[in-house]
Chain A
Amino acid sequence: MNISSFQTEFNKIMGRDYFTNHVKPIRAQAFNNFLEEGLPNKNWEDWRHTDLKPIKEIDFRLSEISDAPAHELDITEFGLDDIHTIVIYNGHYQESMSSIPNGVRLISLSEYGEQKGWRFNEQKDSPFDLLNTAFMDSGFCLSVDKGVQIESPIRILFISSSENKIMVSPRVYIELEESSSVTFVEQHEGNSKEYLLNSSLIMGIKRNSRMCHIRIQNNSGNTFNIGNIHVHQDKESHYSFYQFAYGSKIGRLNLFTNLNGKGAECFLNGLALTCDHQHLDNHIITNHNAPNCTSSQNFKSLLNDSSSGVFNGRTVVSKGAEKTDSNQSNKNILLSKGSLMNSNPQLEIYADDVKCSHGSTTGALDRDAIFYIQSRGIDMTSAKALLVRGFVSEMIESISNKYIKQYVISKFDSWLNENTI
């Protein structure tokens, strides 16, 4: 996708009249800002290890009404069908298939814009946020009122399925009012040909609220999945994030968490499983902007075949964010000689009284452990599987929702079955 193809698509979206006119100047501003720098290349510090050339070489077009499903879909193939789901198919909201739990409110992006006075003030950070604003399509906002605890999880299911080369830019806001809680599943599925999915999720977590966010990234092997997530946390709020990524050709997660109120905490976890020529990049930024906040980044990868991965974790402790407690950990197992991992945990500390730690390990499976297991009568393949399961178990076990945990375990098992390790 070169700049002129972006321009062509941009002109198309500006011509669409089903958005209110308020959105147009916002799009135009974002697109102009995007044009100033263009798509990242490997000279950009934050993009050194992720080559976007494959994206640049393909001309994607906007998703049209004709890309919506012609008939009712069967979403049971994606599992987790017991939970309330909002279905987005190639960028089109599927109302007939969607349901939300009691207590959650769903409004369109236009309504949201109306309420907020058309301020979409998020996108200082990544060029993909700017692109998302310029092209945002399936937009909506989910909110939970003050004091409301939503017991049943809610899922947004993004299905990317097309014979055509299309690009989709979902924009989702999730707002938890004071002392509320929700478990939210973000799931990416579908068997598309070349496809560019560039989503931006913006979460506002008010005082004393709790969000558990589980992201399952299982796009087709031709999909480019760029996920931009911005989390804003008030006092004593809690955000936990679990990513299970095993899909897409190139996947890039830009996760920005901002601990803005005293005593807020965020626990960010990720497991990436890669094979063939997949490349999964996790770019995780945690900003401690207030005192007494706790954060952790705990990311793991299992890399097979000629796949590669990146962990770029940065924890920034601003001036005045005293009594910060933060931990970063990145552990990777290279299951093949051809796999490659770039790990870069970083700390930037501008406060005095803080407790921060970080660590990173990358290597093959422990030969001594393999022999130990074999010496108890278990064959080599099962021995490796046992170790690999051990490696991921802690993370999977920490998902408190049993139904979702079971689902993730089953997905992990199938991955392990399909891979020769």
Chain B
Amino acid sequence: MLNIQDLHAGVDNKEILKGLNLEIKPGEMHAVMGRNGSGKSTLSNVITGREGFHISKGNIEYKGQSIIEWSPEKRALAGLFMSFQYPVVMPGVNNTYFLKAALNAKLKHHGKQELDAAGFLKLIKEKLTEVDMDTSYLQRAVNEGFSGGEKKRNEILQMLTLEPELAILDETDSGLDIDALKIIADGVNRYRNKERSFLVITHYQRLLKYIEPDIVHVLIDGKFVKSGGKELAIELEEKGYSWLES
């Protein structure tokens, strides 16, 4: 599904990712852990095509094709999704309008019939219950005045609506209360299947109790220094990161 080889990337003259390798197969759940500033969000941004990040070496393949020259929307339409660590507030942009435009762009891309207002409302109401949000969020501007946790739920709502094949969840658990964490984890687990893959970035083993990863990677200074099973997350929680530093 996703294959990253010897990726070197950064901003301006600063290299942030320094030779990163990652292979995610269909249906796999990968977790990435690492200190603040180690490059986790940079990795998500580079995969999803944010401007300003420069790839100096290496490649990113998605379903066998190199995507590093692709626009962000092309990547999204091909099935990539990122739940933002810091979802963007968009004053005046109606949440329903935004989500409907995104979904219809996707349907159109796949040659499917676009949804009208009624069809979309029916669909979105089902998705809302999955993340335990009420319909009042639909009338609001995207993320405007949303609490930290509400923003994260809104990200997952978007994921469930757009149905990506590879979802990157960048600290989706940060700022969530325990109930919300459980709701979101349940949503993600229901969404999991043999075809869909995940890259979950987190600081806490707590999330990984609910969403069981197949593989845990430790990112230090722009590289994965260790990868292992879910027990690695427990070990990290106990010991921190310094024992892994060279």
Q: Chain A, interface size: which category?
A: 20 to 34
For residue A107, CB closer than 8 A to chain B, the reply is: no
Within 8 A of B (CB), among A374-405: 374-380, 382-383, 386-387, 389-394
For residue B72, CB closer than 8 A to chain A, the reply is: yes
Given contacts A371-B72, A373-B98, A380-B73, contact A393 B109 (CB under 8 A): no
> Is the beta-carbon distance between A382 and B101 smaller than 8 angstroms?
yes
Interface string of A262-276 (1 = CB under 8 A from B): 000000000000000
> Is the beta-carbon distance between B162 and A376 smaller than 8 angstroms?
yes
Q: How many A-B residue pairs have CB under 8 A?
A: 82
Return chain B residues, CB-CB under 8 Å to A376: 73, 76, 98, 102, 105, 158, 162
Determine the distance from Cα of A186 to Cα of B98 in the docked complex, in whole angstroms.
34
For residue B92, CB closer than 8 A to chain A, the reply is: yes
Q: Which of A128-136, A203-211, A302-310, A361-369 contacts B (4 or more CB under 8 A)?
A: A361-369
Nearest-neighbour CB distance to chain B for A47, whole angstroms, equals 32
> Is the beta-carbon distance between A390 and B90 smaller than 8 angstroms?
yes
> Is the beta-carbon distance between A390 and B101 smaller than 8 angstroms?
no
Interface string of A3-25 (1 = CB under 8 A from B): 00000000000000000000000
Return chain A residues, CB-CB under 8 Å to B209: none
Most B CB within 10 A of own CB, among A367, A372, A382, A386: A372
Return chain A residues, CB-CB under 8 Å to B102: 373, 376-378
Determine the distance from Cα of A5 to Cα of B141 in the docked complex, in whole angstroms.
54
Query: Per a CB cutoff under 8 Å, which of A371, A379, A387 touches B93?
Result: A387
For residue B88, CB closer than 8 A to chain A, the reply is: yes
> Is the beta-carbon distance between A375 and B101 smaller than 8 angstroms?
no
For residue B197, CB closer than 8 A to chain A, the reply is: no
Given contacts A367-B51, A389-B93, A391-B92, contact A377 B141 (CB under 8 A): no
Nearest-neighbour CB distance to chain A for B177, whole angstroms, equals 24
Determine the distance from Cα of A376 to Cα of B72 in the docked complex, in whole angstroms.
8
Determine the distance from Cα of A387 to Cα of B98 in the docked complex, in whole angstroms.
10
Interface string of B55-94 (1 = CB under 8 A from A): 0000000000000000111011100011010011011111
Nearest-neighbour CB distance to chain A for B228, whole angstroms, equals 30
The contact sample of 9 A-B pairs, CB cut-off 8 A, is: A371-B72, A374-B49, A375-B48, A375-B49, A377-B77, A377-B106, A390-B90, A391-B92, A394-B91
